[in-house]
Amino acid sequence: MAKGSAAYRCAECGWQTTQWVGRCGECQAWGSVDATARPAGRGPGRVSAPARRIHDVAVEESLARPTGVAELDRVLGGGLVPGGVVLLAGEPGVGKSTLLLEAAARFASPTTPVLYVSGEESAGQVRLRAGRTGALDPHLYLAAETDLGAVVAHVEALRPTLLVVDSVQTVGSDAVDGTPGGVTQVREVAAALTRLGKTRAMAVVLVGHVTKDGSIAGPRLLEHLVDVVLSFEGDRHSTLRMVRAVKNRFGPADEVGCFELGDDGIHGLADPSGLFVSGSRLSPDPGTCVTVTLEGRRPLVAEVQALVVPALGPSPRRATSGLDGNRVALLLAVLERVVGVALPRPTNPGAGGTDVYAATVGGMRIVEPAADLALCLAVASAVSGVPVPPGTVVVGEVGLAGDVRRVPGTSRRLAEAARLGFTHAILPPEDVSTPDGMRLHPVATVGAAVCLAAEATSPGRR
């Protein structure tokens, strides 16, 4: 076999072949043939740099450099680290390319050139979008390539500080078999770009596709190769976009960045709470209640709405938007069975129960149990027709016995609510500091919270 013609090697004995097999033809070992494996025990390898004492290793060159997009820097932990590899994944059309193009333009400077490689669009198409969103900089270079060798050649010629590849599934390598986007190709391309970024101290951002269930497409090895994994989320019918850190070797892995996507590009939202609360929060309507959720370490004020009507058909409906349907069904059972909230009965003899509709405002999705008590009060308010007292925020997890349990980050939640003008808080009993201008109302059960919220607003409570 000619030298260099084999694309697969056995990690045990070094046997080579041009196609992948499950069992080595030489040593008969199973699962040892891999595209990137090297024979083990064949002598020492080449040392790239001598080992140094840990105190002698300089850290200045590995400090994060801000991208210029504050919300993205928040999620990254301060910015891009030289030699760090970031994987940004999201559904088609959510705004990944728009965000990265703006970040690349802001990051580019005479000392930090940026190379943006597009495998899905031509350079002219990227230029049109950059002109529309204002992402233009003379030190931002564009290239439309789908071959790994061509991408490496561009890097050798420009020596950029940041490389953006949009997307990793469209780039192919001649060193391995398969079509671009396949498991072998994605693994080889990602590994090659990672090695290139590490050896040149060049930050690399890879755009990844997602599958129908929302997970990152390609082999799981792709997430292990990179240093940071970001998930770009958003509803097509809403302008809100969120970037979540799923994995981060250089910063917190629970941070969230909020953006608003518009015709002129994507903009960071330093204070997004106003998007998730309707304008009637100071004079609320029946069936609405305000809570505070934690997205990573960021508190966000959100509004929960409920509508309860007699069912018209034989099967009652439980429709939700932005909430977990199973969680809503559980809380409805607690309200009716434990608390004694009587849901309206159908007038049609053939109907079977009550239709309940629960939703959030502004496209917010709430998954944490801290909003349980707020949903219960929203449903109870919708049934009684009595609104929750104005200026009230509700936080707490609800158990099956109707008890109200503590939630993490209560102090941060209350501080955010007080900053937005809320003056009362219904929450589980807890030793927590009271923000200035806010009055706390601890409750141990859902029944106590419902009775408290249903009381008429008196001058003394104001």
**Which of these three, 236, 251, 270, is where a domain ends?**
270
Distances (CA, A) of 111 to 85, 107, 129, 388: 20, 10, 25, 57
Determine the pLDDT at residue 4: 44
Asked whether 195 and 163 are in contact (CB, 8 A), the reply is no
Secondary structure percentages of the chain, helix, strand, coil, to 5: 30, 25, 45
Spatial CA neighbour of 373 closest among 406, 350, 326, 412: 406
Q: Would 430 be classed as within a structural domain? A: yes
Q: What is the CATH number of the domain that holds 75?
A: 3.40.50.300
340 plus 250 within the same structural domain: no
Judge if 435 and 348 occupy the same domain: yes
Looking at 270, 291, 308, the residue that finishes a domain is 270
Q: Which of 260, 253, 206, 252 is nearest to 95 (CA)?
A: 260
The pLDDT assigned to 282 comes to 57
Q: Which of 270, 290, 321 is the last residue of a domain?
A: 270
Task: Quote the pLDDT of residue 6.
Answer: 53
In a domain, 2, yes or no: yes
Q: Which CA distances in Å does 384 have to 46, 184, 220, 285, 381?
A: 76, 60, 51, 12, 5
Same domain, 111 and 239: yes
Amino acid (1-letter code) at residue 212:
K
Residues 363, 216 within the same domain: no
Q: For 139, how many CA atoms within 13 A lie in the half-sphere containing its CB?
A: 16
Residues 418 and 359: their CA atoms lie apart, in Å, by 24
Does residue 118 contact residue 78 with C-beta atoms inside 8 Å? no
* Full domain range(s) for residue 10: 1-46
Total domains, the chain: 3
- Which amino acid does the sequence have at 314? P
Q: Are residues 297 and 428 in the same domain?
A: yes
Give 142's Cβ-side CA count (13 Å radius). 22
Cα dist. 155→103, 428, 451 in Å? 19, 57, 67
The pair of structure tokens assigned to 158 is 């420009």
Q: Are residues 265 and 168 in the same domain?
A: yes
Q: Is residue 53 part of a domain?
A: no
CB–CB of 304/388 below 8 Å?
Answer: no
Both 87 and 183 in one domain: the answer is yes
**Encoded amino acid at 280, one letter:** S
Q: Does some domain include residue 462?
A: no
Considering the domain architecture, whether residues 280 and 153 belong to the same structural domain is answered as no
Q: Which residues fall within 8 angstroms of residue 180, CB to CB, at 6 or more apart?
A: 119, 146, 169, 170, 171, 172, 189
52 inside domain: no
Give the separation between CA 420 and CA 392, rounded to whole angstroms: 11
> 228, 242, 83, 99: which is closest to 166 by C-alpha?
99
Give φ, ψ of 169 to 5 degrees: -75, -15
Residue 291 one-letter amino acid:
T
Q: What are phi and psi of 192, to 5 degrees?
A: -65, -45
Judge if 289 and 413 occupy the same domain: yes
217/350 same-domain check: no
Inter-helix orientation angle 123-133/96-107, to 10° = 80
What CATH number has the domain bearing residue 353?
3.30.230.10
Q: Residue 191 has which token pair?
A: 């590994």
CA distance 186 to 47: 27
Asked if residue 248 is part of any domain, the answer here is yes
| Domain presence at residue 51 | no
Residues 112 and 241 in one domain: yes
Please check whether residue 261 is in contact with residue 241, taking contact to mean a CB–CB distance below 8 angstroms: yes
Query: Tell me, what DSSP letter sits at residue 336?
Result: I
Residue 459 lies in a domain: no
How many residues comprise the chain? 462
> Can you list the residues of the chain whose pLDDT is less than 50?
1-5, 37-42, 456-462
Residues 130 and 264 in one domain: yes
